Amino acid sequence: MHRKKIGLLAFILVALAQLYVPAKMIIDKELVLHSGKEFKFRTAPVDPNDQFRGKYITLSYSDNVVEVDENEKWNRGENIYALIETDNEGFAFIESVSREKPENSEDYLFTKVQYNGQNKLFVEFPFDRFYMEESKAYDAEMIYRENERDITSTTYALVRIKEGEAVLENVFIDDIPIKDLVEAGR
């Protein structure tokens, strides 16, 4: 009987751990969605195919670069905090980067150095995948490519940021969500 009790306890602990991991992911992201600040990041997309997670668009960003002091050394893959601000046109850009957590603002990303150019630092944005319904990913890519050629249209990702965490909420072409564009095109 004693053995059975220990077994039961172990079983419950394992089950809780297995539930905790996905639940923690959800809670973290929901917190950012509810109280994080909204930013628009200018994008340029491509579409690969991940068998395991359905289909998504890979986004790359044009403003993931910041000027840094030439003498300061940053390693590839190093953890950094990137302070995000909004420019006059309403789009997000990196104001500065640091190794220490910024104290005066909540609007920063906890991320990694992509690579170090001459007095320029390229930063990884941890929201480069936008998952679409399987049947829409291909059409979405086509619409994107057309709009990338068209310099009058603007594509951007709507991202919420809070204390290092970021959640990609939606992707827009000229203020219309990409999903709606795909549906309208059918």
Q: By C-beta, is 52 or 71 nearer to other proteins?
A: 52
**8 Å CB contact between 8 and 16:** no
String of contacts with other proteins for each residue 81-120, x by CB under 8 A: ----------------------------------------
Residue 18 touches other proteins, criterion: CB under 8 A: yes
**Number of amino acids touching other proteins (CB under 8 A):** 36
User: Which residues 6+ apart lie within 8 Å of 179 measured at CB?
Assistant: 132, 133, 136, 140
Select the residue interacting with other proteins from 133, 146, 150, 174 (CB under 8 A): 133
**8 Å CB contact between 141 and 46:** yes
Q: By C-beta, is 96 or 158 nearer to other proteins?
A: 158
* Among 48-56, 61-69, 88-96, 97-105, the segment contacting other proteins (CB under 8 A): 48-56
CA separation for the pair 7, 14 (Å, rounded): 11
Select the residue interacting with other proteins from 39, 41, 56, 93 (CB under 8 A): 56
Q: Tokens representing 171?
A: 């992707």
**8 Å CB contact between 44 and 61:** yes
* Among 19-27, 38-46, 79-87, 139-147, the segment contacting other proteins (CB under 8 A): 19-27
Q: Tokens representing 115?
A: 């690579």
**8 Å CB contact between 154 and 171:** no
Residue 180 touches other proteins, criterion: CB under 8 A: no
Q: Is 133 left (phi over 0), alpha (psi -120 to 50) or beta?
A: beta
Residue 130 touches other proteins, criterion: CB under 8 A: yes
DSSP 77: T
Residues near other proteins, by CB under 8 A: 7-8, 10-11, 14-15, 17-19, 21-22, 25-26, 29, 50, 52-56, 76-77, 126-136, 167-168, 179
